[in-house]
Structure 1
Amino acid sequence: MINPEVSVIILAYNTEEYIAQAMESALQQTQKNIELIVVDDASTDNTLEIARSFDDNRIKILANQKNLGQNYSTNLAINEARGNWVTRLDSDDWYAKDRLEKLLEIAYNQNVDMIADDIYFIQDGKTLPWSTLLTQSKFRIKHNLKIEPIFFIENDLPGTWGLPLGLTKPLIRRNFLMQHQIKNQENILIGGDFWLYLNCLVHGAKFLFVPKPNYFYRSRNGSLVTLSKVERLEAYCQATEFYLKQDFIKNNPQLLAALQKRLTLLEKTRPYFQVVDSIKQANYLDACSRMINNPDFFHHLYTQLPRIIRRRLFLYFHQIISF
């Protein structure tokens, strides 16, 4: 296709059970003028073969010869993209049928550079979502919301009750990315999307959040979100330290202060995540020891109890309804 409206990017690694559904949800969009770029990151199962089995001239398949990570693959796909807009779709997730059409209509009407929607959370094997990103946040947003950089930073903090917009999959004007030479840092292991979006905001992108879910986010064993909490925390801290040294952050006092505060808060959550990991590993003696020796654990637990209780209640009632 010469001039697709949207380039949908799927990064795939060992998702043979899910990749077909993800691709179909993109190809069956009511907005037909798309290209679908699938980057297989050296899968060891049949993911690549399944992707190549699709017969549609809107599909472009890229295959890494070795596992190079999400950020490398995202940059590769954006460079190959020809759409006016680029957007991500995880290879184990899927879109509502008219997602792209709805978001594009709002984006052009409001003249924005980025537009994201709410997310349905759905457990692997279930047919109905148990909640949404917005429902699990502390905000009650009823109308489209313009996202400012400080709001974005302060409310996307792992393990706290905010609105983690780094989880969303916005449509982004490709020309904006090219004009400002924005790309993912390949040395960032986790949270690359957060930093890509923040980079866009710092360069003046108009970012609109639509409080209606049209993206289905699957939670499953083996996915990135189920990795060790402590390992993820360390990666978040390392990424924050890296960006604190970058000129576009250092030259903006407000952003610098917000990210320094973010790093401090991240480090304070370490005792809490250490206890959570110990409990998940059934190492209860270690968990008790960490609770006693780290007062920050109790402070964090107290401040996050409303979020934890809300999440548990939603999951509990969803399981009852599913039976």
Structure 2
Amino acid sequence: MISVVMPVFNGEKFLKIAIESILNQTYMDFELLIINDGSTDKSAEIINSYQDKRIRLLENDGNKGIFYTRNRLFEEAKGNYIAILDCDDYAEPTRLEKQADFLDKNEEFGLVGSWVTIIDNENTIKGAWQLEHRPERIPAKLLFLNQFAQSSVMMRREFADLKYREEIPLAEDYDLWVRISQKTRVINLAESLVKYRLHNENISQTKEKELQENVFKIYKNQLEELGIYANQDELIIHKKIGNMDFEQNNESFFETAKNWLELLHSKNQEIEIYNKMVFNNLLGEFWAELLSQNIELSISKKAFYQSYLSNFIHSTKKNTLSRAFRLRSFPFNYTIKPALNVVKNLKDWKNKRKK
């Protein structure tokens, strides 16, 4: 059986849509476990309006908060698998069936998520998150970015025992996925099985500074596994690399980012927390993007040819960068001006033909 767990606090606006998306699943063997965390709106009334025996409603004694509620849901769940759905999101009809089937057939995996479709308050599709779906890459990518949408996750119940940690608010899900990935294989199915609602009340938009501080805690925990004890400036560089948010035409930033990538490589070569080939390929992707955004820097060409990081760049991208640096080496008079003259001569010739 699957336990679908849903925390609710003043969720009346989208609660009915979320509940019915579970009741309409093609997979029938589930319980929908809902905890009402002291809602003051009509959430309890909406939940109680359903007569479906698969719905199990529990009430907190007042508003206990999201950590208490999510962890209580894990404790109260009866299923072998636990699927998460927040009360403003929507599960596609085949979500439970496809994720349960995957876990049934792949015992080495303890957690499965999926891609998600982004919707707004009017249910208009605004985009998609095509999260990393190659399981061999996910642990390494978690070092830089969260790779799971919470409402898409289904896990074996033993991994729910790890629980959310209250000392990392706003990023508690990211922290949990990292810790689970250190104990079992994890994956995202490469199809959208959930609609995730992005709206003005999303916590990550209203408390961005606190969110960043707690993401940095997650970075530090993982980096320390590599033997790296990062300071605040290094954590900022690490975040920028993960987001591929590189400062352009800034030699100091370029050099610092290059050195950080080289440090990550050398530490993982020593300890091999992450598969060496996978990790090196990922560093190569970051390095290629850093170079691409800084072609005009005088130091970037030298770094491209001298840093061993370039050995990790995919051959097609590497050839493109090599051509770009070669073209950059020619003076303006020998590249751009002749091309402009050719265009001008062609126009003059066409004008004469018309006459």
TM-score normalised according to structure 2 size: 0.61
| Deviation, structure 1 residue 166 | 5.3
- Is residue 153 of structure 2 the alignment partner of residue 170 of structure 1? yes
Question: Match for 1:124 among 109, 121, 129?
Answer: 121
| Deviation, structure 1 residue 268 | 7.9
- Is residue 253 of structure 2 the alignment partner of residue 253 of structure 1? no
Helix, strand or coil: the match of 2:13? coil
CA distance in 2, matches of 1:263, 1:95: 40
Q: Which has the higher contact order (CA 8 A, sep 6+)?
A: 1
CA distance in 2, matches of 1:148, 1:90: 23
Match of 1:12 in 2: 8
Taking structure 1 as reference, are residues 146 and 40 closer, same or farther at Cα in structure 2, changes over 3 Å only?
farther
Question: Match for 2:174 among 191, 194, 200?
Answer: 194
Taking structure 1 as reference, are residues 149 and 130 closer, same or farther at Cα in structure 2, changes over 3 Å only?
same
Helix, strand or coil: the match of 2:152? coil
Code of the aligned partner of 1:200: I
Match of 2:218 in 1: 240
Taking structure 1 as reference, are residues 155 and 80 closer, same or farther at Cα in structure 2, changes over 3 Å only?
same
Taking structure 1 as reference, are residues 171 and 100 closer, same or farther at Cα in structure 2, changes over 3 Å only?
same
Cα shift readout 1:230-279 (whole Å, capped 9, x = no counterpart): 23223434x438x73xxxx69x733x64x948994348879xxxxxxxxx
CA distance in 2, matches of 1:133, 1:60: 31
Which runs of no fewer than 5 residues in structure 2 stay unpaired? Answer: 241-251, 258-288, 294-355
TM-score normalised according to structure 1 size: 0.67
CA distance in 2, matches of 1:95, 1:117: 11
2:116 and 2:192 in contact (8 A); partners too: yes
| Deviation, structure 1 residue 147 | 5.0
Which structure 2 residues correspond to residues 294-309 of structure 1 after superposition, within 5 A?
A: none
1:147 and 1:208 in contact (8 A); partners too: no
- Is residue 61 of structure 2 the alignment partner of residue 65 of structure 1? yes
CA distance in 1, matches of 2:102, 2:31: 20
| Deviation, structure 1 residue 169 | 2.7
- Is residue 75 of structure 2 the alignment partner of residue 105 of structure 1? no
Helix, strand or coil: the match of 1:190? coil
| Pair member with larger Rg | 2
| Deviation, structure 1 residue 98 | 0.8
Cα shift readout 1:165-215 (whole Å, capped 9, x = no counterpart): 2546321000344xxx4111123321111111111122x211122111111
Which runs of no fewer than 5 residues in structure 1 stay unpaired? Answer: 157-163, 271-294, 307-323
Percent identical among aligned pairs is: 23
- Is residue 40 of structure 2 the alignment partner of residue 44 of structure 1? yes
| Deviation, structure 1 residue 87 | 1.4
Which structure 2 residues correspond to residues 260-275 of structure 1 after superposition, within 5 A?
A: 260=230, 264-266=234-236
RMSD, aligned α-carbons: 3.2
2:7 and 2:86 in contact (8 A); partners too: yes
Taking structure 1 as reference, are residues 260 and 82 closer, same or farther at Cα in structure 2, changes over 3 Å only?
farther
CA distance in 2, matches of 1:167, 1:6: 16
Match of 1:226 in 2: 205
- Is residue 86 of structure 2 the alignment partner of residue 90 of structure 1? yes
| Deviation, structure 1 residue 31 | 0.6
Taking structure 1 as reference, are residues 77 and 210 closer, same or farther at Cα in structure 2, changes over 3 Å only?
same
Residue correspondences, number: 247
Code of the aligned partner of 2:52: D
Match of 2:347 in 1: none
1:71 and 1:186 in contact (8 A); partners too: yes
